[in-house]
Amino acid sequence: MATLTVLGSGSKGNAFAIGFEGELLLLDAGFSLKEIERRLQCAGLDPAAVVAVALTHEHGDHASGATSFARRHDIPVTTSLGTWQALARGGEPCDFAPVGFHQEVTIGSFTLSACPTSHDAAEPIALGVRLPTGTSIGVAYDLGRPTQAVRYFLRERHCLVLEANHDETLLRTSSYPLVVQQRIAGPGGHLSNHDAARLLAELHHDDLELVILAHLSQRCNNHDTARATVSQALGDAGYRGALVLAEQDGPMATVRINGPRQRAFAL
């Protein structure tokens, strides 16, 4: 059985840990090395159990502690080539395991795949994680617009981590300058609550058991608004699983992902 722990998600930093059979995969590392280790330990997780750091893109709130954590624990960073090159320009190198649209990589128990996303970064990706049990997890945030490729990539996952970054009204009435508002709401920015709700309703299937809303803006969103918008759409689609809203100041309680259900077929 797989587990997922939100170490923290929001404008100030993003990191998740997937666990399986005593191994951990760190998904994004948007905190300092010291803070990542502290949050892992507070969650009852051993930093030495992390076998790789997987990154969606190079922005600081997703990657600031990635290379230092990887060097300290002698593990690889797996991400797109463009993200890796952007990271390499800003710090000391560590081991690199490339992952791309047509290039899976297996590290320990975790097989990773990737799909390009629309965001203002070097080569941003959504990540897919498959475990030996068949459990499948999709992670997509900072994705601007959910392209057809992203929709296809995220289908049939047992767990989805998807951004619900902002409420459109709260963004328009925020103190952000107009150019920043346009960047956030634009095709290279972030998904709104309604964008996330529509996408999740489209992706719903009987075996989807866990949805985590990530990267909520502290200025332009709140948990009640995001939950109400997304839960309505998921409920209308027939979703009966868990809906978790990621906290910025985590870590949060570890949750289980059961994975493929055993089905009985009549002979």
User: What is the share, in percent, of the chain residues with pLDDT greater than 70?
Assistant: 96
First to last CA, the chain: 29
Segment 79-91 mean pLDDT:
87
How many helices and strands in the chain, by DSSP H and E? 9, 14
Cα separation of 16 and 29, whole Å? 8
User: Does residue 216 lie in a domain region?
Assistant: yes
Residue 267 has pLDDT above 60, yes or no: no
DSSP one-letter code for 150? H
User: Does residue 265 lie in a domain region?
Assistant: no
Our count of domains for the chain comes to 1
The answer to whether the beta carbons of residues 27 and 15 sit under 8 Å apart is yes
What pLDDT score does 92 carry? 64
Sign of the torsion formed by the C-alpha atoms of 21, 1, 98 and 246: negative
Question: Residue 26 belongs to what domain range?
Answer: 2-257
What pLDDT score does 265 carry? 37
What pLDDT score does 137 carry? 98
Lowest pLDDT segment from 36-40, 82-86, 144-148, 157-161: 144-148
User: Does residue 110 lie in a domain region?
Assistant: yes
> Model confidence over 211-255: pLDDT tens digits?
999 999 989 999 999 999 999 999 999 999 999 999 999 899 999
* Residue 255: its H or E element: strand 255-257
What pLDDT score does 171 carry? 81
What pLDDT score does 159 carry? 97
User: Does residue 266 lie in a domain region?
Assistant: no
Half-sphere exposure of 189 (CA within 13 A, CB side): 18
- The DSSP result for 79-142, as a single string, is E-HHHHHHHHTTS----EEE-BTTB-EEETTEEEEEEE--SSSSS-EEEEEE-TT--EEEEE-S
Share the mean pLDDT of the chain.
93
User: Does residue 263 lie in a domain region?
Assistant: no
CATH, residue 224: 3.60.15.10
User: Does residue 267 lie in a domain region?
Assistant: no
Omega of the bond leading into 251 within 30 degrees of 0 (cis): yes
> Model confidence over 99-139: pLDDT tens digits?
998 899 999 999 999 999 988 888 999 999 999 999 999 99
Bridge partners (DSSP) listed for residue 17: 5, 26
